[in-house]
Amino acid sequence: MRLVSGPPARVVRTSGPARPFLPDPQVPGGLDGLSVHFGRLYYSSAGRLFSGDTHDVMAAGAGAAAAAAAAAFLQGGQGGFHVEAWAPADGLALAPATEYTEERGDAPPFSEYPWAPGPIVELHRPTTLRVVAPKEGFEYEWLYNGETRPGPELAVLLTEDGEDRPVVLRELDPAAAGAHEGQGEAARELRTFLVGRRVRRELRQLTDEDRERFFQGLEAMVKTPPEEGRARYGPAFRNNDHFVHLHNVLAGARDCDHLHSGSGFLFNHVGLTNEFEQNLQLVDPAVTVPFWDFTIDGHAIYSLHGGDFDALWNSVIF
């Protein structure tokens, strides 16, 4: 979900911690009704029902008037609330950049997922956030990790699985009176989240460094005895023998081949790959398991090498 533009406002509970509650972008202006039940705020708009924790920020895109009405409604018995408005985003945007986008020209990780409240930022990879199409003569500042940082770029590093980190980007007009130090309102303001996730790539799309780190992690899983691995990498470590045994047991069962027959092929291999990758990340948390797009090789073998499969093994990877 995205923060809506227009005349947004939010209701903030003044007692206890507050964290952003991002609304459904389809919520139109105006609230039909409000109620509180078992500590949750329920509000309806145009016949649709939405809810949020009363400790959260409510930003329904309904404007300051509706937010003020919500604050007045909730004040009885629910603690104090105040209304805080911010400048609309109006097209203000940011884009993450890494060595893959800068040196190789790759597109940033796809972020238009319905569950993603902001851009995908790859875990354990130094990333620079940049203002998209900054305006000449305007200044920019970021609110991140409780700090205000000036400039059109912000360096970040996310390391926790499933981490969603809030970030605010403000565009300031130096010509506006009191535009700095909180004395005036920003010309535009983007409030969003950095969505920390791991990214898998095709084996040949990896940088040389990332490919070597994957092979080094794989070598450690193959050569490290179980007891030594658990002492070095933690009690959850399983070496490669565990996965070979698991594959043999599932594929060679007398009743059926659980790995390669029917729907078992897809789901069991997904499960094996996930467990294998989690063990690999105990060795090196920045590594992911790459995938192999065999259509690249098929095209090359039949289009460039006359069907000679020996050409497959000429790659530097092998």
* pLDDT average, residue stretch 135-159: 94
Residue 98 has pLDDT above 50, yes or no: yes
Q: What is the pLDDT of residues 16-49, one digit of tens each?
A: 333 333 333 333 344 444 444 444 444 444 444 4
pLDDT band at 88 (very low <50, low <70, confident <90, very high): low
Residue of higher predicted confidence among 45 and 247: 247
What fold, for 93-197? Answer: Immunoglobulin-like (2.60.40)
In angstroms, how far is CA 282 from the centroid of its own chain?
Answer: 21
Residues 142, 187, 52: CA angle, nearest 5 degrees:
65
Residue 65 has pLDDT above 50, yes or no: no
Half-sphere exposure of 250 (CA within 13 A, CB side): 17
Q: Which of 55-59, 114-118, 213-217 has the highest mean pLDDT?
A: 213-217
Residue whose tokens read 């459904």: 24
* Separation in Å, CA 262 to CA 173, 253, 255, 294: 61, 15, 14, 21
Domain boundaries along the sequence of the chain: 93-197, 203-314
Measuring CA to CA, which residue among 190, 182, 25 is closest to residue 114? 25
CA distance 268 to 260: 9
Provide the pLDDT for residue 185.
59
**How much is the pTM?**
0.69
Provide the pLDDT for residue 154.
98
Provide the pLDDT for residue 178.
54
* pLDDT average, residue stretch 235-244: 95
Provide the pLDDT for residue 312.
77
Asked whether 30 and 7 are in contact (CB, 8 A), the reply is no
Q: What is the pLDDT of residues 267-302, one digit of tens each?
A: 888 999 999 999 999 999 999 999 989 898 888 888
CA distance 57 to 10: 6
To the nearest whole number, what is the mean pLDDT of the chain? 75
Measuring CA to CA, which residue among 302, 116, 255 is closest to residue 199? 116
Q: What is the pLDDT of residues 156-208, one digit of tens each?
A: 999 998 888 889 999 998 877 554 454 445 788 888 889 999 999 998 899 99
> From the CB of residue 256, how many other CB atoms can be counted at a distance below 10 Å?
12
Residue 152 has pLDDT above 50, yes or no: yes
Residue 266 has pLDDT above 60, yes or no: yes
Residue 227 has pLDDT above 80, yes or no: yes
> Which amino acid is present at 185?
E
* pLDDT average, residue stretch 1-13: 33
CATH of the domain spanning 203-314, picked from 2.40.340.10, 1.10.760.10, 1.10.1280.10, 1.10.1040.10: 1.10.1280.10
In the three-class reduction of DSSP (H, G, I as helix; E, B as strand; rest coil), residue 133 is classed as coil
Q: Which residues of 75-84 are buried (b: 16+ CB within 10 A; e: fewer)?
A: eeebeebebe
pLDDT band at 318 (very low <50, low <70, confident <90, very high): low
Residue whose tokens read 């565009």: 171
Provide the pLDDT for residue 244.
94
